[in-house]
Amino acid sequence: MGKLVVSEFVSVDGVFEDPGGAEGFKHGGWSFRFNRGPEGDRFKLEELQASDVLLLGRVTYEGFAEAWPKMEHSSGEFGPKINSMRKVVVSGTLDRADWRNSTVIAPDGAMDEIARLKGDVDGDILVNGSGQLVRALADSGLVDEYRLMVFPIVLGSGKQLFEGTGTPANLRLASAREAGDSLILTYVPA
């Protein structure tokens, strides 16, 4: 059975919006102000290599589908892996997904399909970005692990990862480690 892993870049105040600067957020690109070091790079690569499926919401999917095919040969092992792996996008507006190995599932019934998907894969199901999807997964009890790379910045505004989550959830810290200027915190449901 696969493990559903939510992995996010977040600020100290919980903002996860536009860490790469491609979405037009006034503080966009904030993660590039810091060095995540070889530990952070290794963490992200190992995380991707352990994943069988990339699960995304529409907005994140569209950003990734625009960027990653162009980086197939310029991003080390990341590009070939992310471009070739299975991708599932939850969207009520997309009819099809053109990025290689991508499929679209509708929001209605998506949590049931994702629960079945967990039973069909051996590796991880990795979720990046995709705030609305993350909240739905959390509310449905489908998240097995949260991996938060916390960057030393307070943004003061922006979309917060757990903003609007309907049900409080107790988490247990499974691990904490430094990665350059950031801290990688791994939480599991308590």
Q: What domains lie within the chain, and their CATH numbers? A: 4-189 (3.40.430.10)
The stretch 4-23 carries a mean pLDDT of 94
Cα(74)–Cα(157) distance, integer angstroms: 33
Res. 48 pLDDT band, cuts 50 70 90: very high
Q: Using CB atoms within 10 A of its CB, is residue 18 exposed (0-12), middle (13-18) or buried (19+)?
A: buried
Query: Are the beta carbons of 183 and 176 closer than 8 angstroms?
Result: yes
The stretch 24-30 carries a mean pLDDT of 92
Cα(114)–Cα(151) distance, integer angstroms: 30
Res. 77 pLDDT band, cuts 50 70 90: confident
Which has more pLDDT, 180 or 167? 180
The pLDDT of residue 39 is 96
The stretch 6-17 carries a mean pLDDT of 96
**Residues whose CB is less than 8 angstroms from the CB of residue 109 and which lie 6 or more positions away in sequence, other chains included:** none
| Cα dihedral 160/162/166/167 (nearest 10) | -150
The pLDDT of residue 73 is 79
Mean pLDDT over the full length of the chain? 94
The stretch 37-41 carries a mean pLDDT of 95
The stretch 171-183 carries a mean pLDDT of 97
* 3-class secondary structure, 111: helix
The stretch 23-44 carries a mean pLDDT of 93
The stretch 44-57 carries a mean pLDDT of 97
Nearest residue to 3 (alpha-carbon basis) of 154, 143, 109, 164: 143
Give the tens place of pLDDT for each residue, 124-168. 999 999 999 999 999 999 999 999 999 999 999 999 998 887 778
pLDDT over 90 (residue 13): yes
The pTM of the full predicted model, rounded to 2 decimals, is 0.94
